[in-house]
Amino acid sequence: MFTIGVVLYAIGSFVELLIFPAQLFFISLGLLTLLDALLIFLVKKPLSYQRTLKERIDLGDANKIKLTIVNQTRQPLLVRFYEGFPVEMQERNRSYHSLLLPHKDWSIVYEFIPTKRGDVVFNSPYFILSSVFHLVQRRILIDDVQSVKIFPSMNQLKKYELMVFSNKKIQTGIKRIRKIGNNSEFEQIKEYIQGDEVKSINWKATSRTNSLKVNKYQEEKSQNVYCVLDKSRSMQMEFDDLSLLDYSINSILTLSNIMLKNGDKIGLFTFSDTIDSKIIAGKNNYQMQLLIDALYNQETAFKNPNYELLYQTIRTTVKTRSLFILFTNFETEEALHRALPILQKINQKHLLVVVLFQNSDLEVLSFRKPKAMREVYQSIVAEQMTELKTKIVAQLRQSGIQTILTLPNDLTVKSINKYLELKAKGML
């Protein structure tokens, strides 16, 4: 017991010796915390912030977003920054850290690759600030909500434009099509030179001048072409993360750009149960921008297409013979039969091309070697549905309607080839 008493007495004496240093430590810590709070909260706006981005962002392209942060105080700041990334980026935990010296700026650059058209919102960012003591933290929310428009990429338009108007057509899938018949306009009479076609010799002009003269023709231009986009529920099907509507919009813009470069007038109709967009055919400098503005945020309406309304709109709006390229999808014969009488009426006055889609997933299933009974059934159903789509195409062609059946990834090339073919044959 005596030993225990001695130990307790020694501990008590030691604790009494530590009380004053502990009190001094906590008082100093409190004062330092108060000083740290003053350093962090005394300046109303310790940081300036700016987000720099384009007003127009291209779909599928890497778009750089620049953030500039400036320390407006006379002290270094530890900054942890959380950007208000768009929901589409699925970035919730990424943050940026830096020790920002007085009156110095800090630049952050990251890439945003949009995968959907339409409007995208960049939300308000916020900062977590602390001084070099790191005892107090301050959260600052920046009111900076920015909405930007996501447009289809212009890179694809330029790529296919180069393909069509260069000598590299065959390597890239664009066909070199020989002109059939005479679909040209007379331009002038000129002197015959070696290589000119004999059948183009103008014998009357030759007899008057005693020298060979030939007629020179130019390709007929300024023809009206309308792209018609079906926005019904059947266009919602997705392949490789893009819906049939997305594939169609990309192809419409690419094809329209080529048509305008070729001298034709371009117009647009979009419809489902109502007529949503209507642009009269033209070839002004701003015509392409009109199409882009009309298509960048189009979405499917999940309703049945109203072909009767489409026909009435075309009949009252388009008075001259035109080429109509309809981007749609018929999955059943019943759907075709409801629309076929209307399509035939359109084709009587105009030249109609119907674009239909093959299901790439069904193509894979129908050719896959089955290993189990379930796969046998899947293969049979896939083959039947593929044959049904072929039958639908045959019925359209029997009705005198030009038809394109394509996989989604091949849509742009096949649409361009069809347009070039029709121009070469002079069918419009």
Calpha distance 420→415 (Å, rounded): 9
Are residues 237 and 116 part of one domain?
no
> What confidence tens digit (pLDDT) does each residue in 157-180 have?
777 666 666 655 544 556 655 544
Are residues 235 and 125 part of one domain?
no
H helix or E strand, kind and range, residue 82: strand 77-82
Residue where one domain finishes, among candidates 151, 170, 200: 151
| Averaged confidence pLDDT in the chain | 81
> What confidence tens digit (pLDDT) does each residue in 289-307 have?
899 889 988 888 888 899 9
Tokens found for residue 21: 């240093």
> What confidence tens digit (pLDDT) does each residue in 320-349 have?
999 999 999 998 899 999 999 999 999 999
pLDDT cut 70: percent of the chain above it: 78
Are residues 197 and 282 part of one domain?
no
Are residues 174 and 243 part of one domain?
yes
* Residue 109 banded pLDDT, cuts 50, 70, 90: very high
Residue 135 lies in a domain: yes
Q: Output DSSP code: residue 251.
A: H
Query: In this predicted structure, what is the pLDDT of residue 44?
Result: 85
Mean pLDDT of 101-110: 91
Instruction: Examine the pLDDT at 360 and tell me if it is beyond 90.
Output: no
Mean pLDDT of 382-393: 82
Q: How far is CA 291 from CA 16, 63, 106, 285, in A?
A: 85, 22, 40, 12
Specify the CATH number for the domain of residue 337.
3.40.50.410
Are residues 228 and 210 part of one domain?
no
Residue 16 lies in a domain: no
Query: In this predicted structure, what is the pLDDT of residue 181?
Result: 45
Is the separation of the CB atoms in 280 and 267 below 8 Å?
Answer: yes
Residue 26 lies in a domain: no
Query: In this predicted structure, what is the pLDDT of residue 316?
Result: 94
Query: In this predicted structure, what is the pLDDT of residue 9?
Result: 52
pLDDT cut 90: percent of the chain above it: 32
Q: What is the 3-state secondary structure (H, E, C) of 397-408?
A: HHCCCEEEEECH
Residue 27 lies in a domain: no
Residue 261 lies in a domain: yes
Is the separation of the CB atoms in 68 and 59 below 8 Å?
Answer: no
* Residue 400 banded pLDDT, cuts 50, 70, 90: very high
Are residues 305 and 198 part of one domain?
no
Query: In this predicted structure, what is the pLDDT of residue 356?
Result: 94
Mean pLDDT of 384-401: 89
**Segment among 74-83, 242-251, 293-302, 360-369 with least mean pLDDT:** 360-369
Are residues 362 and 324 part of one domain?
yes
Answer left, alpha or beta for residue 230, where phi above 0 means left and psi between -120 and 50 means alpha.
beta
SS3 8: helix
Instruction: Examine the pLDDT at 183 and tell me if it is beyond 50.
Output: no
Q: Which domain holds residue 123?
A: 47-151
Residue 345 lies in a domain: yes
Question: 201: number of CA atoms within 13 Å, CB side?
Answer: 14
Are residues 302 and 365 part of one domain?
yes
Are residues 208 and 121 part of one domain?
no
Instruction: Examine the pLDDT at 285 and tell me if it is beyond 90.
Output: no
Are residues 385 and 263 part of one domain?
yes
Q: Which pTM value belongs to this model? A: 0.71
Residue 18 lies in a domain: no
Are residues 135 and 274 part of one domain?
no
Task: Say how many domains are in the chain.
Answer: 3
> What confidence tens digit (pLDDT) does each residue in 74-104 have?
888 899 999 988 887 777 778 899 898 998 9
H helices of 167-218, in order, are 169-172, 203-209
Is the separation of the CB atoms in 420 and 370 below 8 Å?
Answer: no
Residue where one domain finishes, among candidates 151, 171, 193: 151
Specify the CATH number for the domain of residue 75.
2.60.40.10
Are residues 330 and 272 part of one domain?
yes
Residue 35 lies in a domain: no
Instruction: Examine the pLDDT at 201 and tell me if it is beyond 90.
Output: no
> What confidence tens digit (pLDDT) does each residue in 114-149 have?
877 888 889 999 999 988 777 888 898 988 888 888
